[in-house]
Amino acid sequence: MENQTSSITPGKWALYIFVSSLPLIGLIMLLVWGFGNDGNIIRRNWAKGMLLLYVIGIILSILFFSLFGLAAFGLGSMESGGY
């Protein structure tokens, strides 16, 4: 078992970032790294932070698409309303 607080080399960081950028595999690996009991605490905290950023991005995307969708729907109904 590796040291829980050992530093992570730049090569490993590059590998972690590359793997986390893969569409479905990255999400699964972030969950494993973030909530697994073994591994480096620094990597665990980084993975939890990345998952938090994913959640914030999804929420903001849903919010913006909803607002712009409602605006487009409103403009469409004004046009067909005979104004």
Number of domains in the chain: 1
58's enclosing H/E stretch is helix 41-80
pLDDT band at 14 (very low <50, low <70, confident <90, very high): very high
Q: In this model, does residue 83 exceed pLDDT 70? A: no
Q: Is residue 2 part of a domain?
A: no
3 occurs within a structural domain: no
34 close to 41: Cβ distance less than 8 angstroms: no
What is the sign, positive or negative, of the torsion defined by CA atoms of 29, 33, 34, 37? positive
Look at residue 51 and tell me if it is in a domain. Answer: yes
pLDDT higher than threshold 80 for residue 31: yes
The domain in which residue 36 lies consists of 10-80
Which amino acid makes up residue 24?
A: L
